[in-house]
Structure 1
Amino acid sequence: MLRTSACVTAETLAVDDLLRAVADPAVGGVGMFVGLVRDHDPAGPASTVSWLEYSAHPSAEATLAALVAEVAEAYDALVARAEHRVGRLGVGDVAVTVAVGAAHRAPALEACQVLIDRIKTEVPIWKRQAFDDGVTGWVGL
């Protein structure tokens, strides 16, 4: 039986908790992605990123949950979870996590890839970044 979950939270994301959330005796492989705040934006100015701030539409968590369930079902996953932070994050903080457990590694890894790619384009969460020179700007708007 497929088990999925998702959350949008201001709380710190813990990779250990994510791995426990997809534990299941039938799982033979887990595909995981951990998105971190990096110190630069390849498309931005030459200065260093100081922090990011994520904002979410009120429908973001429901959208994320539906997406996790859809992708997990399409790839015959047994369990899947995605989490996204909101609020102000520093360089090195965990911003998003995805884990998909399946009987075999290939569907787990494929579903994980598809899920993170779709989260970035379909879930209504926006990112504002600040640079060490004082410049701030929204990404992807």
Structure 2
Amino acid sequence: MNDHFRLTHEALDVAAAYAIADNARNGAVVLMSGMVRNQTGGRAVDYLDYQAYDAMALQVFQEISDRCHRQFPITEVVIHHRLGKLKIGEISVLVAVGSPHRSEAFEACRYAIDTLKVEAPIWKKEFWLDGVSSWVNCPI
């Protein structure tokens, strides 16, 4: 296993996440990139601010990876999440999964991102162009 987990205030690198998930045993690498969009619920977004309980979030990433390895025949799981202020179009999260087969890579990647959004102690505050802001996606 070459699993890799990261929380950072720096820009996330799609090519680096893909390279970590890739190896000669794989027939597929599925990479999901979550980005800051320009609207939520019809409201214009100015920017987002992500905060996390770092140590616990990394532990949750490991637990998600462990479950993926138990449930799916995969080789690697990569979870990188950005923290701090993110502008429209910036990548907030990368999940990459390597597997000998594409079907399992897709399933494991979807499981990882869906579970991360529910279980990881990462909080998102949305700032709208009208000056209003609110916290969303608070799992704990």
Q: Which runs of 5+ in 1 are unaligned?
A: none
Two-structure CA RMSD over aligned residues (Å): 1.2
In structure 2, the residue matched to 1:5 is 4
Tell me the amino acid that sits aligned with residue 11 of structure 1: E
Give the drift of 1:78.
Answer: 0.7
In structure 1, the residue matched to 2:18 is 19
> Map of 1:1-141 to 2, 5 A cutoff?
2-42=1-41, 46-58=42-54, 59-141=56-138
Q: Which runs of 5+ in 2 are unaligned?
A: none
CA contact (8 A) 1:51 1:89 kept: yes
Tell me the amino acid that sits aligned with residue 35 of structure 1: G
Give the TM-score, by structure 2 length. Answer: 0.92
Tell me the amino acid that sits aligned with residue 111 of structure 2: V
Give the TM-score, by structure 1 length. Answer: 0.92
Tell me the distance in 1 between the aligned counterparts of 2:12 and 2:66. Answer: 20
Tell me the distance in 2 between the aligned counterparts of 1:124 and 1:78. Answer: 26
3-state SS of the aligned residue for 2:43? coil
Count of equivalent residues: 137
Give the drift of 1:69.
Answer: 2.6
CA contact (8 A) 1:13 1:95 kept: yes
Give the drift of 1:92.
Answer: 0.2
1:108-136 deviation line (CA, Å, top 9, x unaligned):
01000111000000000000010111001
CA contact (8 A) 2:2 2:20 kept: no
3-state SS of the aligned residue for 2:51? strand
3-state SS of the aligned residue for 2:89? coil
1:21-62 deviation line (CA, Å, top 9, x unaligned):
1120010011110000001112xxx43100000000131112
What fraction of aligned residue pairs are identical, expressed as a percent?
A: 31
